[in-house]
Chains A and B, each alone.
Chain A
Amino acid sequence: MAYRGPALPQYGFLKVPEGQSRRAVAIIEAEELRKEFVVWRKVGRLRRQRQVVSAVDGVSLRVEQGETLGYLGPNGAGKSTTLKMFTGVLAPSSGRLRVCGLEPVSRRVQLTRQIGVVFGQRSQLWWDLPLRDSFALLRHVFRIPQAEHAARLAQCRELLGLDEFLDTPVRQLSLGQRMRGELTAALLHGPRVLFLDEPTIGLDVVSKQAVRAFLTQLRDQGEVTVVLTTHDLADIERLCRRLVIIDHGRVVHDGSLEALHARYGSRRRVVVDLDAPWEQVPGLSGAVVEAVEAEGHRVTFSLAEGVTAGHVITQLAGYAALRDISIVEPDIEEVIARLYAASDDARSVASG
């Protein structure tokens, strides 16, 4: 269902004025960003107690143009709150924040032209109108030049396969179809940065893949900066080179996925199936036995840091007949679970 109209001028998704350097342009600069909410707690039948809760508690972050950043954290960690401050929806309680060089709340209207936002739970489409009409309305709301609008829409139609439901009222779309519509709506005005809050939540496998493939393509073009929050670690593994993990309103990790594994000592594993039951190999170096299963016929080794799987397998092959070998990459969910637990421990030590 690709676009078959007349040839269109190629507009990228970005509109950086020509000649402007693309190197090291800061899209987001946050310093000691905080957001506090006042909560009234019920004490007794009528009395209420005032309590200040920090949803975001001193986040400092710098995101440069073209980066794809995964923003991760357990429920209630402050992900959405941070994103809402980045997009000018919520005013920070304290700290310094610039997005595309603008202070989000006071320059909200200018900022909306520079950013695209997909909040999974809040549709920016018109519920009762066909998708096509929503896109046309957005052209007027954002005052997008017609040619630009047409070119971007054509690109999205092709990449996201919108044609089959372009004339359906939004309220009748499936979640996956709507999400594809939302992505298009967020990109039509050519934003410099795209904020996605849980873009794949609740989607079926096919839609998930479509969304991820689209975002991968966007990332590889390198024009649009993408910041996404997610619970789905597969999103992160597929899309994000940089990972920021937040817990209790604070950044607990900022770096690549590999750095995370290195820091928390996650190890690759080698699983071997043996002809004869396992016996301890004297002087085996670079690996320790983690589990012995199937009456000694299957053994799992975890590799020490910097040790190759080949090194261990060669040693093993000298001692026993190997039937099958598999290498298991470290599990990101496990690392993150460990990370959350560690940060909880640190907090209880600090407060206790």
Chain B
Amino acid sequence: MADASRGADIPAGADSGGVLSAYTRLLVAQIRSQTQYRLSFLADVVSTCLMSLLDIVAVLVLFRVTPALGGFSGRQVLVMAAMALLAFSLSDLLVGNVERLRFYIRTGLFDVVLLRPLSALGQLLVIDFAPRRTGRVVQALVILAVALFLVDIDWSVARVAILVVTPLAGSLIFASIFVAGATVAFWWVESGELANAFTYGGRDFTTYPVSVYSGWFRRLFAYGLGFAFVAYYPALFLLDVPDPLGAPIWLGWGTPVVALLAMTVAACVWRTGVRHYRSTGS
């Protein structure tokens, strides 16, 4: 009987293994119920693979017709594009499904999420986790390996470190934008594809060097939203090429800082959003 009251007030963080296992179980349950519909699951996997293949073909075609872009050779651009793709596919795998928030808000199912003793955002990421997106991460890795093989890099500890850190930090920048964009639905349920302009738009933006863009568009996406730090500046550092726009080379290390900033902003937006949740009638 002594431990009958144990569950009553577990101090936060005292049993983090327990929390982790709660998320793992939710994840397993999600995968199990997804595989219940085996045929549709298979169809999903096949179509995702096909779509990604088309993406690669598009990139290859582009580099056949344009030998240089924004002052960079095709091979150098491929490094940037691959780093950006890796960052994006990582964040898409881990938090891309946060866009389903709209559905949970519209149906009022977000109520149920709030009634469990787990982080609301954490649950959202887990209950709609789509394992089929792992394929895109693998593809991005392969493209990056090929691109690195095609260019000359003077490898050093610093360059290896930036190669490892950048895709992780870059994916956090994308993740922040995914979360902040999805949060708009708390105020405006019919926000539709608005958030995609910044997430998928960001992916496309980071595929090419910042120097090909100009004016307010460059200022907003490259510096305002921090997309220049996803792949452009780190790639300059990696390739040891000066920025045609004159930015210092050490900016390549800025990605984790920008990621931290982006995450802070996203967390604030998320918190405010949850407080504005209106639920639905009855």
Q: CB of B278 within 8 A of chain A? A: yes
Residue B109, interface by CB 8 Å: yes
Cβ–Cβ < 8 Å partners of B12 in chain A: 109
Binds A, one of B20-28, B58-66, B140-148, B213-221: B20-28
C-alpha spacing A9/B278, complex, angstroms:
42
A123 beta carbon closer than 8 Å to chain B: yes
Stretch at the interface among B1-9, B78-86, B160-168, B243-251: B1-9
Contacting residues of chain B (94-120) with chain A, CB-CB under 8 angstroms: 108-109, 111-112, 114-119
Closest to B33 in A: A128
Given contacts A89-B114, A90-B278, A148-B7, 8 further A-B contacts (CB under 8 A): A11-B4, A88-B114, A91-B275, A108-B114, A109-B12, A110-B117, A121-B282, A128-B32
Interface residue A319 (Cβ < 8 Å from any Cβ of B): no
Q: Complex: how many Å from CA A91 to CA B186? A: 13
Residues of A near any B CB (own CB < 8 A): 9, 11, 15-18, 37, 76, 80-81, 84, 87-91, 105, 108-110, 112-114, 117, 119-124, 126-129, 133, 137, 140-145, 147-148, 189-190, 197-198
- Known A123-B112, A140-B25, A141-B117; contact A189-B33, beta-carbon cutoff 8 A: no
Nearest CB in chain B: distance from A167 CB, A: 14
What A residues does B112 contact at CB under 8 A?
A: 119, 122-124
Inter-subunit contact B25/A119 (CB<8 Å): no
Residue of A with least CB distance to B28: A137
Contacts of A105 in B (CB 8 A): 275
Candidates A17, A89, A147, A148; contact of B115 at CB < 8 Å? A89
Contact between chains at A84 and B7 (CB < 8 Å): no
Given contacts A112-B116, A141-B118, contact A119 B111 (CB under 8 A): yes
Return chain B residues, CB-CB under 8 Å to A109: 12, 117-119
Nearest 5 interchain pairs by C-beta? A128-B33, A112-B117, A140-B25, A91-B275, A15-B5
| A112 and B115 within 8 A (CB) | yes
Pick the residue among A91, A127, A189 that contacts B7 (CB under 8 A): A189
**Measured between alpha carbons, how far is A133 from B19 in the docked complex, in Å?**
18
Asked if A144 and B25 make an inter-chain contact with CB atoms under 8 angstroms apart, the answer reads no
Cα of A90 to Cα of B111 in the assembled complex, Å: 9
Closest chain B residue to A139 by CB distance? B25
Bound complex: CA of A190 vs CA of B277, how far in Å?
27
Assess whether B56 is interfacial by the CB under 8 Å rule: no
Complex CA gap A144/B21 in Å reads 13
> Given A15-B4, A15-B7, A189-B7 in contact, is the A137-B29 Cβ separation under 8 Å?
yes
* A88→B115 CA distance, assembly (Å): 8
Task: Find out whether the CB atom of B4 lies under 8 angstroms from the CB atom of A129.
Answer: no
C-alpha spacing A88/B113, complex, angstroms = 11
CB distance from A11 to the nearest CB of B (A): 5
Q: How far is the CA of A108 from the CA of B278 in the complex (A)?
A: 16
Chain A residues, CB < 8 A from B111: 84, 89, 119, 122
- Establish whether residues A141 and B22, one from each chain, have CB atoms under 8 Å apart when the complex forms: yes
B67 interface residue per 8 A CB criterion? no
Bound Cα distance from A117 to B12, whole angstroms: 22
List 28 A-B pairs, Cβ < 8 Å. A9-B1, A11-B4, A15-B4, A15-B8, A89-B114, A89-B115, A89-B279, A90-B278, A90-B279, A91-B277, A108-B114, A112-B114, A112-B116, A113-B7, A117-B115, A119-B111, A122-B111, A123-B112, A128-B36, A129-B32, A129-B33, A133-B29, A137-B29, A141-B117, A142-B117, A143-B10, A143-B15, A190-B8
Q: Cβ of A145 and Cβ of B118 under 8 Å apart?
A: no
Q: Given contacts A109-B118, A119-B111, are A145 and B7 in contact (CB under 8 A)?
A: yes
CB proximity to A under 8 Å, residues B128-175: none
Q: Tell me which residues across on chain A come within 8 A of B278, comparing CB atoms.
A: 37, 90
Question: How far does the alpha carbon of A84 sit from the alpha carbon of B21 in the complex, in Å?
Answer: 28
Inter-chain contact B109/A113, CB cutoff 8 Å: no
CA distance A141 to B114 in the complex (A): 13
Measured CB to CB, the nearest residue on chain A to B37 is A128
| A37 (CB) vs chain B CBs: closest residue | B278
